Structures are given as C-alpha cells and as structure tokens.
Amino acid sequence: MTSTTPDGGPGPGGARNAHAASGNSGSRSGGSGGARVRRNRGSTRQKLFGAAVTLIAEQGFSATTVEEIADRAGVAKGTVYYNFASKNELFEELLRYGVELLTADLREAAESTARAGGGRVDALDAMVRAGLAFIDRYPAFTQLYVAELWRTNRAWNSTLAVVRQEAVAVVEEQLRGGVEEGELSGEIDISLTASALVGMVLVAALDWKAFQPERSLDDVHAALSLLLQGRVGGCARPR
C-alpha cells in the first residue's frame, strides 16, 4: 500500500524499506518491541519527507536548512541525521522514491489495460491518466522533480537520471509493443516519443495545477487523450 507524507508528498514506505525492516527482525529486535521501533522510525521519516518537500518547494533546496526541516517535522535536528547522513541524502532518497511511485503507477495502468483486453494505445492513454493522477496527489513533489531535471550541478544527478529512465522505459515498452504488433507506425522514434509523452503529462499537469485549477482531472485527461490519439490534427478544419 502506498504511503504518503502528511503534506501530500510520497512517503518512504517502499519495498526497499520493507526489505530492510524484515532483515532486522530477528531475535535481537525483541518481537513486538522491534516492530514498534520500526513503525516509529517509518513515521519519523514520513514527517521528514513531508517537511522537506514543503520547504524546498517553497524556498529552494539551498535555502532550506536541516534545522528548518526538523522544526517543520516537529523533531530534533539530531533526528534528521539519525535517519539520513545529510540533507543531500534525504532529498536524493525522496526523489528516488517519488519517481519509483510514479513508475509503479504507470506500469499498473498498462497492465490493468492489458488484462481488460485493451490495445497499446489504450494502455498509453491509461498511463497518461495515471500520470495526471499522480501529479494531482503530489503537486509539490512534481514541481521539485521537474526543477531538478534541469539542474546539472547536483550530487543526485546520476540517481535522478536512472530513475527517470525507469519511468520512460515503461512508456517505451508500450510503444515498442505497438510497433511490433502493427498498432503503431514503424516510423515512430520510440525513445524520443516516450520522453515526449512523459514530458507532455508533466508540463500539462503543472500548468493545470498552477493556472487552470478549476479544471477536473477528467477534463485534462480528455484533452491529452485527443493529442495522444491524433484526433486534434484529424479534426482540424481545412484553411
């Protein structure tokens, strides 16, 4: 089950943390006492992630201090360093986990469509909606993610590149399958098209949240669905 922070950011309750917890649950953990410690630490990390997302979205990474993150989370400064070696590590893990959540949502949308008997374009359309829904849930995280994609001097650039490619690869898989099965044109540049689709969802969703918040998710999805399926050009009136 996906966890979230109190501020609407992605929480740290992913498979990696569950695995780490299970690996430490031997006789030394003290049974229920060890489980309680793990729950408490997970709750603290969620608070720290939520505080970091909110503050960094408000004032930028460089201007945000560890003291401010701790204060916003309602914990001591030392608690931050107990859970993360540095502010950089906290933010890098937050970026990684958030993009992993997005990737999982995209993959599930495609797989659900396939189970229902839909084609590749249907799967891509479902992924567009899943991406919009993710951004609707985590707008502050998405703003940070997009901003960091344009920076080249961050310690986490390589990590961000890897997790970004994981998300794009899910879209590439559907495009490649569509070409192989004849549903999509063989002239498609799979890599560039996948990146363009992901970028379209990110930019359109951020514009929606910032400048057209009165629109519903259904409205935005319908507009992007038309673009995806090529109906905008097909319906255009001749000049």
pLDDT digits (tens, 9 = 90+) for 223-237: 999 999 886 444 444
Q: Chain-wide mean pLDDT for the chain?
A: 82
CA 146 to chain centre: 10
**Residue 31: per-residue pLDDT:** 59
Beta bridge partners of 4: 10
> Is 167 in contact with 106 (CB distance < 8 Å)?
yes
Is it the case that residue 174 has pLDDT exceeding 70?
yes
For residue 7, report the phi and psi dihedrals to the nearest 5 degrees.
-95, 10
Q: What are the pLDDT digits (tens) for 108-154?
A: 999 999 999 999 999 999 999 999 999 998 888 888 888 888 887 87
Residue of 123, 221, 133 lying closest to 170 (CA atoms): 123
Per DSSP, the residues of 169-213 read: HHHHHHHHHHHHTTSS-TT--HHHHHHHHHHHHHHHHHHHHHH-T
Residue of 9, 188, 208, 12 lying closest to 128 (CA atoms): 208
Could you tell me the two tokens for 30? 């003290």
Question: How confident is the model over 167-196, as a mean pLDDT?
Answer: 95
**Residue 141: per-residue pLDDT:** 85
**Residue 43: per-residue pLDDT:** 78
Q: What are the pLDDT digits (tens) for 2-36?
A: 444 434 555 544 434 433 333 444 444 455 666 65
Q: How far apart are CA 71 and CA 124, in angstroms?
A: 42
**DSSP assignment, residue 86?**
S
**Residue 119: per-residue pLDDT:** 95
**Residue 29: per-residue pLDDT:** 46
